[in-house]
Amino acid sequence: MRLKDLEGYKHIVIQCHDNPDADAIASGYGLYCYFKSRNKDAALIYSGKNRIQKKNLELMIEKLQIPIQYWDKNEAVEGLLITVDCQYGAGNVTKLTASQVAIIDHHQIEIEGVRLSEIRSNLGSCSTLVWKMMSDEGFDFAEEKRLGTALYYGLYSDTNQFSEVYNPLDMDMKDSVPCEKSLINLFRNSNLSLEELEIAGIAMLRYIYNDDHLYAIIKAQPCDPNILGLISDFLLQVDGVNTCVVYNEQEERYKISVRSCIKEVNASELAAFLTEGIGSGGGHREKAGGIISKRLYAEHFPTLHSEAYFSQRMNEYFNDCEIIIAGKVPMVHGSMKDYKKKRIPVGYVKAAEILPEGTPIMVRTLEGDIDMVVEPDLIIMIGIKGEVYPIKEKKFLQCYQVLEEKYNASMYTAENEYVPTVKNILDGSSKILTDYAKTCITSGETYIHAMALDHRVKIFTAWDSEKYILGKPGDFLAVRSEDEDDIYIVEKDLFHKSYEEIM
């Protein structure tokens, strides 16, 4: 669904969920500004038992002049009702009477059958989704500093001060909207109440600790999501705690905060593991978070209480995973088969042809950000799934043959939700990498030994001893025939596209 699909309605009411948080208010305000710019009769509302009382939200509404109103639950809506940061009919939003309904949300799908829906559960905030939808319609944010500040704070609040940001669209929004940082500081320092401080103190007295794997789990009472981050940050400073999970139970979901201080556990990957199949999670190596849908949890684990679930999953995480350090132990090829790499066209960009030499750049992909400096011999490769990696021109000329055919960017963008971009760190400008890509193909033959995994594997490669590559069941563990220290993982849906077995 696009916002222009909703422009046929003259009267539009935008409803945040009950007890709205900063993200709901910000994303609702974004939609309000958009429809006002299209000369629509728009209103921003919320309902429920409680009025807005948190000081940071009162300051946000006052300083940014957000025209949000409380709406009586018995009053019908004229025209179109848009529920934002929630889903019409779900338990966290008062169900108002409306003849036409649309949904814009970033949580797990709870309500189905609403034709006008845009739900992106892989985003860190609904503010990001609204920003993206507005941008797609050509909305100019340059002079909208109040709106930009609201959206920035919405993402900031919903991702525990950006520590749980993992989707590149979230990063793009954070980097691009105009923002008054002094107001963010004001809102941040007015966020916690004395009652929430007490919640944090009580929570830290009740913990589960595992001395085999040196992890701790804490269940907190309902509170602002940032309290969970405060508790987990404090908990990780305890001697003997290398990883921790802090969570609480909300009306429709569980909210989790994950921390790690060891290289063998990437907090983002652990958060994704804990929420797999029942929610979403991610973030950074040391700090991450996520949400679990209570509906999906009840379907998968109807008899398991939450503390037992997290203990069980944490034990599975540590017990069912093998760690391989390249160069430390020789690979045993007995259970591996021999494969040859297929000659498949891929993309490449010579960095110095699109930016001046010496320019510090950041290449943003769905897998994360890569920092580089433009050098005369820097080549940026684009794989068949859009994965991006640097290579020196000397090695490029040894391994690849340049083709005359044009790079087929449309095939790539049709299959991926995010196209890699290059950001100039000096001036903040960005370029879409595929717009400048040319085509090449491997020259010569590449042979590997490989086998499908039946368990999780973490590989510390020869070129990076601090960050591991994760392999999941079904993925392939591969080692180059001519270099047994060159060990890597190939995703299962990519392997047979890239390699063929030697019979």
Q: Residue 75 is part of a domain; what is its CATH number?
A: 3.90.1640.10
Structure tokens at 102: 């649309």
Domain presence at residue 451: yes
Range picked from 92-96, 136-140, 398-402 for highest mean pLDDT: 136-140
Domain boundary among 432, 453, 471: 432
pLDDT digits (tens, 9 = 90+) for 146-202: 999 999 999 999 887 887 787 889 999 999 999 999 999 999 888 777 888 888 888
Domain boundary among 188, 219, 253: 188
Q: Are residues 293 and 217 in the same domain?
A: yes
pLDDT score, position 333:
66
pLDDT score, position 329:
67
| Number of structural domains the chain divides into | 4
Domain presence at residue 437: no
Domain presence at residue 388: yes
User: CA of 300: how far to CAs of 84, 217, 221, in Å?
Assistant: 27, 21, 23
DSSP assignment letter at 298: H
Query: Strand 438-442 relative to strand 400-406: parallel, antiparallel, unpaired?
Result: antiparallel
Q: Are residues 141 and 184 in the same domain?
A: yes
Cα–Cα distance, 471 to 456 (Å, whole number): 6
In SS3 terms, 61-125 reads as HHHCCCCEEECCCCCCEEEEEEEECCCCCCCCCCCCCEEEEEEEECCCCCCCCCCEEEECCCCCC
Q: Are residues 107 and 151 in the same domain?
A: yes
pLDDT score, position 405:
84
Q: Are 98 and 61 in contact (CB under 8 A)?
A: no
Expressed in angstroms, the distance from the first to the final Cα of the chain is 48
Q: Give the mean model confidence (pLDDT) for residues 431-436.
A: 90
Cα–Cα distance, 382 to 366 (Å, whole number): 12
Q: Are residues 28 and 176 in the same domain?
A: yes
Q: Are residues 308 and 398 in the same domain?
A: no
In SS3 terms, 195-256 reads as HHHHHHHHHCCCEEEECCCCEEEEEECCCCHHHHHHHHHHHCCCCCCCEEEEEEECCCEEEE
**For residue 371, pLDDT beyond 90:** no
Q: Are residues 114 and 129 in the same domain?
A: yes
3-class secondary structure, 299: helix
Output the average pLDDT for the chain. 89
pLDDT bucket at 330, cuts 50 / 70 / 90? low
Domain presence at residue 439: no
φ, ψ of residue 346 to 5 degrees: the values are -130, 175
pLDDT score, position 126:
96
Q: Give the mean model confidence (pLDDT) for residues 35-51.
A: 94
**For residue 367, pLDDT beyond 70:** no
Cα–Cα distance, 185 to 182 (Å, whole number): 5
Percentage of the chain modeled with pLDDT above 70:
96
Domain presence at residue 33: yes
pLDDT bucket at 332, cuts 50 / 70 / 90? low
Domain boundary among 188, 208, 235: 188
Q: Are residues 330 and 463 in the same domain?
A: yes
Ramachandran region, residue 138 (left: φ > 0; alpha: ψ -120 to 50; beta: rest):
left
**For residue 414, pLDDT beyond 50:** no
Q: Are residues 417 and 269 in the same domain?
A: no
Domain presence at residue 384: yes
**For residue 1, pLDDT beyond 90:** yes
**For residue 301, pLDDT beyond 50:** yes
pLDDT bucket at 482, cuts 50 / 70 / 90? confident
Q: Specify burial of residue 212 (Cβ count, 10 A radius: 0-12, 13-18, 19+).
A: exposed
Q: Are residues 131 and 240 in the same domain?
A: no
Residue range of the domain that includes 241: 194-319
Domain presence at residue 440: no
3-class secondary structure, 39: coil
**For residue 448, pLDDT beyond 80:** yes
Q: How many CB atoms lie within 10 A of CB 88?
A: 21
pLDDT bucket at 208, cuts 50 / 70 / 90? very high
Q: Are residues 255 and 335 in the same domain?
A: no
Domain presence at residue 438: no
- Which CATH number is 208's domain given? 3.10.310.40
pLDDT score, position 444:
75
Q: Are residues 242 and 385 in the same domain?
A: no
Q: Are residues 351 and 407 in the same domain?
A: yes
What global pTM score does this model have?
0.71
Q: Give the mean model confidence (pLDDT) for residues 248-272.
A: 91
3-class secondary structure, 397: helix
